[in-house]
Structure 1
């Protein structure tokens, strides 16, 4: 959490980066998106269990790359980085 007490949300506008009330988030841990929150509002249980391949220009493969994150066993509100892919 930063000094202001809020966290940035992956994919959010830089002018309005904080989490919103009534939304559901997962914390991204390690890798290029470490510390960001991912908005998973409306995701099915199956989709939540699969994790996500998130587009990012700061992945190992540069522009067009994706950072792979999946739920942490025993703590599914935190998603651990599993590597990068194209």
Structure 2
């Protein structure tokens, strides 16, 4: 990845060998803060207001519960474009 791509961030779920794992035009993203997915962007394109307010439980290989575990992220009240880590679950 070039420097510009690194500054744009990597999208959660992008393949490791994807030549352009960053955000794509016309899509909506939330920045994940803290926890095992810190710094990744989550594509929330098409999510409704209730889904956005609920946050997400994202499958991860690197969380506390290892492969298949989930990392929970919730919208930051003062900045809903950033979602904070709330813990892991099996």
Q: TM-score, normalised by structure 2?
A: 0.89
The one of 46, 49, 54 equivalent to 2:50 is 46
Instruction: Say whether residues 1:17 and 2:5 are aligned partners.
Output: no
Name the counterpart of 1:70: 74
State how far apart, in whole Å, the 1-side matches of 2:22 and 2:49 are: 24
State how far apart, in whole Å, the 2-side matches of 1:66 and 1:13 are: 18
Tell me whether 72-81 or 8-17 shows the greater mean CA deviation: 8-17
* Root-mean-square deviation (Å): 1.2
Q: TM-score, normalised by structure 1?
A: 0.93
Total equivalences in the alignment: 85
* Deviation, structure 1 residue 60: 0.2
Q: Which runs of 5+ in 2 are unaligned?
A: none
